[in-house]
């Protein structure tokens, strides 16, 4: 059993760990795989940052904050932190889980495969991820923690399971009313920023949800389309010399419609409803998370309600594919949270044929709210509801 977590930065004269190889690098430092010099066979991940005279205090405070937050988080899909120490001019965090790769690398590997069996094996593993990610983010938000840099690079994959990592810019939410913190220079990855972050610098739980929606859309793309489609999506998003999700909102709608059309075309005469419904469900949830308006964007708790709701097909098409802990969790027993949205039935929706028509079509409404009216049967923010 691991020793009790260190509660402050402990300076040491001899580094007790030996590096086994680099895993990656980030804004403040690098991550490597390590083991203890005492001969222990346990392998850890170590995040290390250089402490310099002019920026050391800021870096040290940031890493201390990361460690303090992570020490009190206990979730199967959130990385565990064990130790924090300084050695010479470096500050290090020792973490329990060492993953085989991150989600971005996983996507790249899947995209490179042309063998059907190999690709299917990897995409089948991905089926558990949506619900597990929802449960992990909901846990963070219920603990009043926001990640602030959700992206595929910061989702680790270990034994096929997802693990949220790199809380280097995470902070407790101390504003009871808005759960948002204003920063004149927001940190994180602009590619996955919510629109409100890019324009105002404000980051609340809603910004995590937008970033999660980006991840869902990439999961749906890799899982539900031929090799090379993720790269096509990357290029398709380019708008005014940027591929950031927040800058191409209606292209996101077109892409969702394209993927829907792709799967509807392939399965309209098939009885494999489970496969079709899974892809459609992931994309439906992505659309609700990518809402450019943070006030009407779905919350993590509302996402949990939707995937656990027995009246919605996510309960039988998506939730059962999650890990046992997320699939069988009963945290919402007796919940009275209102459903955020309900989609129209398949027979009430139209699909592009051929699917590629969606990418150049002008028939898609010009605003996000108009698309909601086109696709949704009900929405908690509407005074009136659409007849099915």
Q: Do 58 and 161 belong to one domain?
A: no
d(CA 207, CA 289): 9
55 or 299, which is more confident = 299
- φ/ψ region of 262 (left if φ > 0, alpha if ψ in -120 to 50, else beta) reads alpha
Q: Do 165 and 260 belong to one domain?
A: yes
Contact call for residues 70 and 167 (beta carbons, < 8 A): yes
Angle at the Cα of 70 from the Cα atoms of 31 and 85, rounded to 5 degrees: 55
- The pLDDT value recorded for residue 185 is 47
Range of the domain at 51: 10-95
Give the domain-ending residue among 57, 80, 95: 95
Q: Do 285 and 154 belong to one domain?
A: yes
In a domain, 3, yes or no: no
Q: Do 114 and 63 belong to one domain?
A: no
At residue 105, the 3 state secondary structure works out as: helix
In a domain, 5, yes or no: no
* HSE toward the beta carbon, residue 132, CA cutoff 13 A: 23
Statement: residue 90 has pLDDT above 50: yes
- pLDDT-derived band at 50 (thresholds 50, 70, 90) equals confident
Q: Do 197 and 296 belong to one domain?
A: yes
d(CA 158, CA 311): 33
Say which CATH number the domain at 77 has: 3.30.200.20
d(CA 163, CA 161): 7
Statement: residue 4 has pLDDT above 50: no
Comparing C-alpha atoms, which of 274, 305, 259, 262 is closest to residue 127?
A: 274
* HSE toward the beta carbon, residue 338, CA cutoff 13 A: 8
Contact call for residues 26 and 48 (beta carbons, < 8 A): no
Say which CATH number the domain at 255 has: 1.10.510.10
d(CA 76, CA 297): 26
When divided into structural domains, the chain yields a total of: 2
Mean of the per-residue pLDDT values of the chain: 84
Cis peptide before 354 (omega within 30 of 0): yes
Contact call for residues 63 and 51 (beta carbons, < 8 A): no
Tokens of 290: 């990518």
Give the domain-ending residue among 95, 115, 144: 95
Statement: residue 156 has pLDDT above 60: yes
Strand blocks (E) in 145-286: 145-146, 155-158, 161-164, 171-172, 180-182, 202-204
Q: Do 91 and 112 belong to one domain?
A: no
In a domain, 61, yes or no: yes
In a domain, 286, yes or no: yes
In a domain, 387, yes or no: no
Q: What is the pTM of this model?
A: 0.86
Percent of the chain having pLDDT more than 90?
A: 53
Residue-wise pLDDT for 104-119, tens only, equals: 999 999 999 989 999 9
Contact call for residues 302 and 282 (beta carbons, < 8 A): no
Contact call for residues 84 and 170 (beta carbons, < 8 A): no
**Residue 138 neighbours by CB distance under 10 Å:** 24
- The pLDDT value recorded for residue 362 is 80
In a domain, 57, yes or no: yes
In a domain, 138, yes or no: yes
Average pLDDT over residues 210-214: 98
Q: Do 235 and 297 belong to one domain?
A: yes
- The pLDDT value recorded for residue 3 is 45
Contact call for residues 42 and 36 (beta carbons, < 8 A): yes
- The pLDDT value recorded for residue 123 is 95
d(CA 240, CA 75): 40
- pLDDT-derived band at 54 (thresholds 50, 70, 90) equals low
Residue 245 has phi, psi (to 5 degrees) of -60, -35
Residues in a beta bridge with 33: 21, 45
Statement: residue 1 has pLDDT above 60: no
d(CA 194, CA 179): 15
Q: Do 239 and 371 belong to one domain?
A: yes
Contact call for residues 101 and 153 (beta carbons, < 8 A): no
Give the domain-ending residue among 95, 116, 151: 95
- The pLDDT value recorded for residue 182 is 43
**Residue 189 neighbours by CB distance under 10 Å:** 18
Q: Do 34 and 141 belong to one domain?
A: no
Q: Cα dist. 346→260, 268, 377 in Å?
A: 11, 10, 11
Find the helix or strand (DSSP H, E) in which 84 lies: strand 81-87
Q: Do 48 and 88 belong to one domain?
A: yes
Residues in a beta bridge with 85: 10, 92
Average pLDDT over residues 241-261: 95
Statement: residue 172 has pLDDT above 70: no
- pLDDT-derived band at 178 (thresholds 50, 70, 90) equals very low
In a domain, 2, yes or no: no
- Start-to-end C-alpha separation, the chain: 56
- The pLDDT value recorded for residue 388 is 52
- pLDDT-derived band at 180 (thresholds 50, 70, 90) equals very low
Statement: residue 169 has pLDDT above 50: no
Site of tokens 């009963």: 330
d(CA 261, CA 275): 14
Contact call for residues 297 and 206 (beta carbons, < 8 A): yes
d(CA 67, CA 6): 9
Q: Do 287 and 151 belong to one domain?
A: yes
Residue-wise pLDDT for 121-155, tens only, equals: 999 999 999 999 999 999 999 988 888 889 999 99
At residue 89, the 3 state secondary structure works out as: coil
Q: Do 87 and 227 belong to one domain?
A: no
- The pLDDT value recorded for residue 188 is 56
Statement: residue 290 has pLDDT above 60: yes
Query: How large is the greatest C-alpha to C-alpha distance in the chain, in angstroms?
Result: 71
Statement: residue 157 has pLDDT above 80: yes
């Amino acid at each position: 059993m691991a020793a009790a977590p260190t509660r402050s930065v402990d300076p040491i004269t001899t580094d007790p760990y030996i590096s086994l190889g680099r895993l990656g690098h980030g804004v403040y430092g690098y991550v490597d795989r390590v083991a203890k010099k005492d001969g222990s066979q346990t392998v850890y991940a170590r995040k290390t940052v250089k402490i310099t005279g002019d920026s050391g205090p800021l870096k040290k405070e940031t890493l201390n904050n990361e460690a303090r937050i992570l020490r009190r988080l206990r979730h199967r899909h959130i990385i565990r932190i064990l130790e924090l120490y300084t050695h010479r001019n470096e500050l290090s965090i020792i973490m329990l889980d060492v993953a085989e790769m991150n989600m971005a690398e996983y996507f790249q590997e899947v995209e490179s495969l042309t063998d059907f069996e190999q690709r299917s094996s990897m995409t089948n593993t991905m089926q558990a991820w949506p619900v597990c990610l929802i449960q992990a983010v909901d846990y963070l938000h219920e603990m009043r923690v926001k990640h602030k840099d959700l992206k595929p690079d910061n989702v680790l994959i270990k034994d096929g399971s997802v693990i949220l990592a790199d809380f280097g810019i995470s902070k407790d939410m101390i504003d009871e009313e808005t759960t948002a913190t204003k920063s004149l220079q927001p940190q994180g990855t602009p590619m996955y920023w919510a629109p409100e972050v890019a324009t105002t610098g404000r980051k609340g739980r809603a910004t995590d949800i937008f970033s999660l929606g980006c991840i869902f859309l990439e999961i749906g793309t890799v899982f539900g389309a031929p090799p090379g489609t993720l790269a096509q999506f990357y290029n398709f998003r380019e708008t005014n010399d940027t591929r950031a999700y927040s800058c191409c909102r209606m292209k996101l709608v077109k892409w969702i419609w394209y993927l829907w059309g792709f799967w509807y075309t392939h399965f309209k005469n098939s009885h494999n409803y489970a496969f079709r419904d899974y892809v459609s469900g992931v994309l439906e949830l992505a659309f609700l998370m990518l809402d450019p308006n943070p006030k009407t964007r779905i919350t993590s708790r509302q996402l949990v309600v939707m995937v656990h709701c027995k009246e919605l097909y996510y309960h039988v098409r998506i939730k059962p594919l999650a890990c046992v802990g997320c699939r069988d969790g009963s945290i919402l027993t007796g919940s009275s949270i209102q459903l955020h949205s309900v989609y129209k039935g398949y027979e009430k929706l139209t699909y592009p044929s051929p699917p590629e028509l969606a990418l150049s079509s002008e028939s898609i409404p010009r605003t996000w709210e108009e698309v909601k009216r086109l696709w949704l049967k009900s929405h908690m923010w509407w005074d009136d509801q659409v007849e099915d």
